[in-house]
Amino acid sequence: MINHYPASIIELIKNLSRLPGIGEKTAERLAMHILHASRKEAEKLSQSIVELKNKVRLCSRCFSLSDNELCAICQDPSRIQQLLCVVEQPGDMVALEKSGAFKGLYHVLQGVLSPMDGVGPEDIRLQELFSRIETENIQEVVIATGTSMEGEATASYIAERLENRPVKLTRIASGIPIGGDLKYVDQVTLRKAMESRHGF
Amino acid sequence: MINHYPASIIELIKNLSRLPGIGEKTAERLAMHILHASRKEAEKLSQSIVELKNKVRLCSRCFSLSDNELCAICQDPSRIQQLLCVVEQPGDMVALEKSGAFKGLYHVLQGVLSPMDGVGPEDIRLQELFSRIETENIQEVVIATGTSMEGEATASYIAERLENRPVKLTRIASGIPIGGDLKYVDQVTLRKAMESRHGF
């Protein structure tokens, strides 16, 4: 359907269509926009794609996304150095940062334990987590892996491994989303929320 | 809201957000996809953006988008060389090509007459159209500008200018879209369709 364009337009449409959520129609519209945009704007976009691949790496301490050896949070002395939050993915860390609810440091596992997919403890950054807890002066570890089966299993594994260490272990709470109507909340969440009920 | 990412990710998110229909959330998702895509895939995307700006130009004969001096249609001897369709924009030509309904040549005006916006006959490719009609052996000109006020005015202008030339002039038909329900068709289109009614 797009082969009525010159080859270089078709090439861009094809490459844009590979992006998630971008169909051929949208890719066509984006390509037309880029075609009519200034050369400077197009070059900036093109450049920033390559720069991303060249510059972004994992922070050597917490394994979040970073432009430098250490990420901005690990370099920030105003963060609470004794408080460590364990998350699955860089995106989880970004979500927590957006919420503004956490002022400590992070540890990004880069995945969860999933024996079915062949992901064991040595495949995610667990050894690095345990080393940090030994060597850094961590007082509390908040386990904020997801509430999927794998997320829960990973949380349990970490809890077991740290059972006898002199560090406080907590789990991020689950329950009914704020602003949510009970009737739209799934049964598993409702059950969990009921079990976790607490005094005022 | 995106400033919890490293600078190079923020830069890409910003540049992607400038594209039409791409909000910050979508740009964030696209940037994460590009981050996790292979280097080759990212480089291909980056490269194709710059290539587009470097390679695409207007066909020197019909002013459609082309990678070469002459576009693929102008170079194709199997197209009916005596039949010329006048459209406003390259996208209109692509739409007609997709329909497969036209086998002649095109002339892409690159706009419409719009005195309100200061667009006169000398600002769109009208002189080139009239020259082609004089020098090429054109038998029929199908005016397929849009049905906006400006599109109609441009069609009328062309018709007037070619009135006494030995060339057949036609206008692409307007009416009720195929598969459309009459009750959803706007009044102007209905009126036009009724006026243009014809025998079986």
Rg of chain B in Å (alpha carbons):
22
Considering only alpha carbons, which residue of chain B is nearest residue A96?
B4
Rounded to whole angstroms, the Cα distance separating A133 from A143 reads 13
CATH 3.30.499.10 fits A7-55, yes or no: no
Q: What is the value of ipTM here, to two decimals? A: 0.76
Residue A198 has pLDDT above 80, yes or no: no
pTM score above 0.80:
no
Ranges of each domain in chain A: 7-55, 65-199
CB atoms A15 and B44 under 8 Å: yes
What mean pLDDT comes out for the span A101-114? Answer: 93
Which chain A residues are within 8 Å of B44, Cβ to Cβ? 15
* Degrees to nearest 5, angle at CA B83 with B82 and B88: 140
Contact in structure between A153 and A112 (CB atoms under 8 Å): yes
Residue A168 in contact with partner chain B when CB distance is under 8 A: no
Residue A99 has pLDDT above 90, yes or no: no
Residue A21 in contact with partner chain B when CB distance is under 8 A: yes
B40-56 pLDDT, tens digit per residue, is 999 999 999 999 999 99
CB atoms A53 and B42 under 8 Å: yes
Q: Which CATH class is domain B65-199?
A: alpha beta
DSSP string for residues in A96-156: HHHHT---EEEEE-SS--BGGGTB-GGGTTHHHHHHHHHHS---EEEE---SSHHHHHHHH
A27-40 pLDDT, tens digit per residue, is 999 999 999 899 99
Which is nearest to B53 in space by CA: A66, A93, A33, A189? A33
Considering only alpha carbons, which residue of chain B is nearest residue A99?
B1
pLDDT of residue A43: 96
Which chain B residues are within 8 Å of A47, Cβ to Cβ? 46
Beta-bridge partner residues of A170? A142
What confidence category does residue A2 fall into, taking pLDDT thresholds of 50, 70 and 90?
A: low
Amino acid symbol at B168: K
What confidence category does residue A4 fall into, taking pLDDT thresholds of 50, 70 and 90?
A: confident
pLDDT of residue B2: 56
Contact in structure between B172 and B199 (CB atoms under 8 Å): no
Residue B145 has pLDDT above 60, yes or no: yes
